[in-house]
Amino acid sequence: MAENKEIEIMQSVYDKNDEVAAQINSELTQSGIYAINVMGAPGAGKTTSLIQIIKRLKDVTPYVIEGDIEADFDTKTLQSLGVKAIQINTGGACHLDSPLIGKAVEDLKINNGVLFIENIGNLVCPAEFMIGEHAKMLISTVTEGSDKPYKYPLAFEKADIILINKCDLIPYLDFDEDFFMKGVRALNKTAPVIKVSGKTEEGFDKVVSWIMDKLNA
Amino acid sequence: MAENKEIEIMQSVYDKNDEVAAQINSELTQSGIYAINVMGAPGAGKTTSLIQIIKRLKDVTPYVIEGDIEADFDTKTLQSLGVKAIQINTGGACHLDSPLIGKAVEDLKINNGVLFIENIGNLVCPAEFMIGEHAKMLISTVTEGSDKPYKYPLAFEKADIILINKCDLIPYLDFDEDFFMKGVRALNKTAPVIKVSGKTEEGFDKVVSWIMDKLNA
C-alpha cells in the first residue's frame, strides 16, 4: 500500500475521534461533569493517585472510567471504596478513544461531579487522542528517571497538570529534579507540577485544590 | 470509513512488517549476528541493563540500535563507553518496525556479534511488531508493581527472557513476587525470569550466561 494512503487513513481516524470527543465534551459539560484524562506509564500509580484524590474531595461526586488492556483489579479496588467506577478493556489497543468513552459515559449515567478517565498505561499513544476531557493529568514518577520529558515530549506538552509520584523513593534514587523541570518547561510553560507520594500521601491536597479551582471556575 | 476496511489496512501493515522482519532476520543470521529486541515500559532501565550486560560480554562484539521517539541521551552514553551504537528517532511513533531496523542494520555494517535493539519505552505496541530479532528480552521492574503481567499480557507472553529490574528497591515497596510470577507463568511457561539491579549489578551474570548459551547454540 502506498504510504500516503496510510497517512490519509490515519488522518481520517484522528478526525473522526476528535469529532466524537468534542460531542462527548459538550454533553459532559451540560451534565455538570468535569472530566480529567489521567495518563501515565505502566505502574506510574494512576489508580493509587486517584484513590488519594477521591478521598479528599468534599461535596463533589467522583466517577471513574478505568481503561486497561485486560484485567479489572483497579475498578474492583475503587468499587470496594464505594466509588462509582466502570471498566473498559481494550483487548489489545494501546489507548482509549472517544467512541469507547462515549459508550462508557452512557452506561455510567452521571451528572454533577468529576469524572476521572484512567487511560492505558502508556506514555506515547494516549496523548494523541482526545476523549472528551476538560483537562489532561499526567502522572510521571521519580523511579522512571529525570529524562522522561525529553523522550516522551507530547504527553508533557499536552498536560494541564503534572504529578511526580513516588517521591518517598527519592532518597534511594538519582532523580535530577532540575533536569526534569528544565525538560518540562521547554515543552509546557504553565502546567503546575506537583510532587506526590501514594505512600506518604504528600502533595495530594495541592492536586485537589487545583481540581476544585477548575470545578468552580 | 467502514471498520472492516480499517482492520484490513492494519492487517496489511502487520503482514508487510513481518515479511521485512523475516528477511532482516535471515540476513542477520547469515552475518553471524544474534539480535535481541529489548522491550520495557518508560524508565524500566533498558539502557542501564544493556550497559551491565555489555560490560560482561567476553569475546563477543556488541552492537546497539537505540529506539526513541526523540532525544539521543542513551546512544551517547553507550558510544562514550566505546559501544558501536546508532540512534533511531521515530518522531512520534510508539514502536520500532522492521523497515526502520532494515535501514539501521545497513548503516551499522555489522557482522559476528550480538545486536541489541532497544525498543521505544512502551509495554503495549512493541510486542506486536517483529523487527528481525532472534529473541525478545522484556525488562519489567519492581517499581511498576506486581500486576503488570495481568495488565500487559502480550509483552510477557512473547518474551524469551524476562528481567525484573530495580530489585535493590524491594525493601521500600510492596512488590508481591508470587503474584507477579503466577501472572507470568499463566502466559509464558518457559522464559527464564531473572531478578536484576542496575544499581547493585545483581543478576546480570545470569542474563549474560543465557545470551552466551543462545550464541553458542
Encode pLDDT of B8-35 as tens digits.
877 888 899 999 999 999 999 999 999 9
Tell me the CA distances in angstroms from B217 to A130, B1, B92, B212, one per residue in order.
49, 49, 38, 8
Predicted confidence band of residue A3 (pLDDT cuts 50, 70, 90): low
d(C-alpha B33, C-alpha B114), whole Å:
5
Instruction: Note down the domain range covering A102.
Output: 3-215
Give mean pLDDT, residues A54-63: 96
d(C-alpha A46, C-alpha A109), whole Å:
23
Q: Which residues contact A30 (CB under 8 A, 6 or more apart)?
A: none
Give mean pLDDT, residues B163-185: 98
Between chains, do A143 and B94 touch, taking CB under 8 Å as contact? no
Between chains, do A151 and B123 touch, taking CB under 8 Å as contact? no
pLDDT over threshold 60, residue A195: yes
Using one digit for the tens of pLDDT, what is the confidence trace for B95-146? 999 999 999 999 888 999 999 999 999 999 999 999 999 999 999 999 999 9
Contacts of B43 in chain A (CB under 8 A): 41, 141, 143-145, 148
Cell of B139: 525488562
Contact A122, A93 (CB under 8 A): no
Write the secondary structure of B90-127 as one string of H (helix), E (strand) and C (coil).
CCCCCCCCHHHHHHHHHHHCCCCEEEEEECCCCCCHHH
Q: How many domains does chain B have?
A: 1
Between chains, do B70 and A141 touch, taking CB under 8 Å as contact? no
pLDDT over threshold 70, residue B1: no
Say yes or no: ipTM exceeds 0.90.
yes
Cell of A32: 455538570
Interface with chain A: mutation pick from B143, B166, B184, B200, highest number of A CBs within 10 Å: B143
Task: Give the count of Cβ contacts less than 8 A between chain A and B.
Answer: 112
Q: CATH code at B8?
A: 3.40.50.300
Residue labelled with grid coordinates 466509588: A83
| Closest C-alpha among A197, A144, A40, A171 to residue B166 | A144
Contact A88, A109 (CB under 8 A): no
Enter the pTM of the model. 0.95
- Residue A107 belongs to what H/E stretch? helix A98-108
Between chains, do B121 and A153 touch, taking CB under 8 Å as contact? no
Tell me, what amino acid is at B138? L
pLDDT of residue A12: 83
Using one digit for the tens of pLDDT, what is the confidence trace for B106-118? 988 899 999 999 9
Question: Can you tell me whether residue A113 is helix, strand or coil?
Answer: strand
For A49, phi and psi rounded to 5 degrees? Answer: -65, -40
d(C-alpha A54, C-alpha A171), whole Å:
28
For residue A30, the distance in angstroms to the closest alpha carbon of chain B comes to 29
Cell of B58: 567476553
pLDDT of residue A7: 76
Torsion of CA A84, A89, A95, A97, to 10 degrees: -70
**A interface residues, B as partner, C-beta within 8 Å:** 1, 6, 9, 12-13, 16, 41-43, 68-71, 73, 92, 94, 120-125, 128, 141, 143-145, 147-148, 150-154, 166, 168-169, 172
Using one digit for the tens of pLDDT, what is the confidence trace for A102-147? 999 998 889 999 999 999 999 999 999 999 999 999 999 999 999 9
Contact B183, B159 (CB under 8 A): no
